[in-house]
Amino acid sequence: MTTYAPMITRGSTRSRRPVVPALWRQVVRGASLDHSASKGDDRSVHPGTIEPDRSAYTQLEIYEGLLRAFDRRTEVLEAIADAPDREVAVLRLRELLDVTHLQAAAILDTQLHRFAAGSRERVAHRAAELREALIR
């Protein structure tokens, strides 16, 4: 599976080993160990079961909101520009795109250059990779 995440290398001159960001490492591996099971937590099904990382679901939720915003970028930018403050902008985005508060805040925090046409394909690709990894 190929990702568009930038390759990060350690500063050591002996080892130029790529470093994978924690979220991607957990998603690409498919899961992380559920450590709450070893603490006797009743919510866990089986000790040591493998559960997808919750932050991966959050990231996917944000990507899906961004894709909606990219599809209606002109309306989104107008809603943001006409809002008197951040909270009103978030509310308008939630109504306009039918998204959650988290998604609307992420859209509002997105830098303007990300609304260029090429960014949509990258986000769609990452969302598809993440969706596929979470299904496994």
Q: Compute the Cα dihedral for 77, 80, 83, 88 and give only its sign.
A: positive
Give the confidence band of 89 by pLDDT, cuts at 50, 70, 90: very high
pLDDT in tens, 90-134: 999 999 999 999 999 999 999 988 888 888 889 999 999 999 988
- The predicted structure's pLDDT at residue 39: 43
Q: What per-residue confidence (pLDDT) applies to 135?
A: 86
Selected from 1.10.260.40, 1.10.268.10, 2.60.120.470, 3.40.190.290, the CATH number assigned to the domain covering 8-135 reads 1.10.268.10
Residue type, 82: D
pLDDT value at residue 90: 96
- Domain spans of the chain? 8-135
Residues 6+ apart with CB under 8 A from 119: 70, 113
pLDDT in tens, 52-85: 567 888 999 999 999 999 999 999 999 999 999 9
Q: Tell me the pTM.
A: 0.60
Distances 98 to 16, 65, 92 between C-alpha atoms, Å? 45, 9, 10
Residue 125 pLDDT: 92
Q: Which amino acid is at 136?
A: R
Task: Read off the pLDDT of each residue in 2-25 and give the average, rounded to a whole number.
Answer: 50
118 CB neighbour count, 10 Å cutoff: 8
For 36-60, how does the pLDDT look when each residue is reduced to its tens digit (9 = 90+)? 444 444 444 444 444 556 788 899 9
Q: What is the pLDDT of residue 13?
A: 52
